A = this chain, B = another copy of it.
């Protein structure tokens, strides 16, 4: 690949905004995953769609890899430059382009982060609910089909992206979708680009569906004697149709870690963290129904947080759980698993995982967006200890096999990147080949984030 040729051409129009500083390259070679630093050859900081199109055209001409970059919080190596190339950092494309409060939608550039978007929206009475924990960029969240704690109520990025502007692999600028709430006008290109991890094109604009800030919000914590009890309560809650805004599981090891990290004193037993959104009366009714279900499953200490600051503390604790778990074993690295199963099989999947962790001796606190059937075991290991690394990898692989055997998926929300590439054929069979066909059709030179998601020969 002619990366030097691409760099020479891109420099002519980006000037100082094409960076080759060592620290910048290293920063763009890392992520929050366990993959080694793999820096690009240069980092481009475009400010307009036209500049992105020129960058991609230069890369296409030089047959040089081009990789989108949001905030570097992906977990499967999606934005790392394993084959070198040009990293396109969208941090300077971070404007909110149009808010339409009456239509409950907003159009943003990809570099806008979800927290800054919600700050900007506050006065409108609307909010953007998708919350993967990290303050990720909207472009990155779109590219990885992110979800998180609120997907059980508000859906994932798949459900909340109305339309896109995309620079294709040839440098052409296209628009997908409209601001209408529904359409049956041709192939769902929006859906095809959401979750494509930059392998089909670079997203330069995103139109998002917004939701009304709920009239009333209340949060709660509820302890259970066993993970099985907690999960059964979740299953019944979902089946009853209670429109939970959040319903999250922490197992005893996770609770211990957040207690130590955040100075909390929750009993070291499985807990559900809950949030209810609705009218005053609606929230009361939901909570009451949930309380009855929890009581049937020996739920205890059903503790309320209606004050905003208490709610914030609760969800900050949840969002920091990953860091709390890492901090509980200083010096260890984490492999974050991410399986998702039909909810009727959730208890079985978690029990199988816990038994495997126990047998293997790998610490693996479990956290989960259990309303969706999605959970993570945070596998901890000393990465200089090859035996421990091997054991953690083997647990991770068996978790995926368990998920697939139960009718689920290898990744509920973290995506494929390179980390899950090895499971794609098992999960999709011949359909993975169809993904490869689409990739070759839309990116015949294979320049868009090569080595990720599709079969290696695509």
Contacts and interface: CB of A to CB of B under 8 A. Distances in A.
11 contacts: A102-B344, A158-B191, A179-B408, A180-B373, A180-B408, A182-B374, A184-B195, A184-B416, A185-B415, A279-B285, A282-B285
B181 A372 contact: yes
A181 B340 CA distance: 8
Contacts of A373: 180-181
A180 B239 contact: no
Given A176-B431, A441-B437, A409 B191 contact: no
A17 interface: no
B431 A175 contact: yes
A183 interface: yes
A415 B182 CA distance: 11
Nearest to A196: B187
Interface string A218-259: 000000000000000001001111000000000000000000
Given A186-B453, A191-B192, 10 more contacts: A102-B235, A102-B343, A102-B344, A159-B159, A179-B407, A180-B340, A187-B438, A282-B285, A437-B442, A438-B438
9 nearest interchain CB pairs?
A: A441-B441, A191-B191, A102-B344, A183-B409, A212-B241, A145-B184, A103-B342, A180-B340, A174-B431
Contacts of A453: 186-187
Given A176-B431, A279-B285, A212 B183 contact: no
B195 A187 contact: yes
A104 interface: yes
A448 to B, nearest CB: 13
A30 to B, nearest CB: 21
Contact of A182 (B100, B147, B192, B214): B147
B281 A413 contact: no
A447 B120 CA distance: 50
B182 A151 contact: yes
For the complex formed by this chain, how many copies does it contain in all? Answer: 2
A106 interface: no
A188 interface: yes
A424 interface: yes
A107 to B, nearest CB: 10
Contacts of A337: none
Contacts of A420: 185
Nearest to A407: B179
Interface string A188-202: 110110111000100
Contacts of A372: 180-182
A3 to B, nearest CB: 26
A186 to B, nearest CB: 5
Contacts of A414: 184
A146 interface: yes
Contacts of A131: none
A193 B94 CA distance: 33
A419 to B, nearest CB: 12
Interface in A159-187: 159, 168, 172-176, 178-187
Interface string A137-156: 00000001111000100001
A105 B342 CA distance: 9
A87 interface: no
A429 interface: yes
A172 B214 CA distance: 47
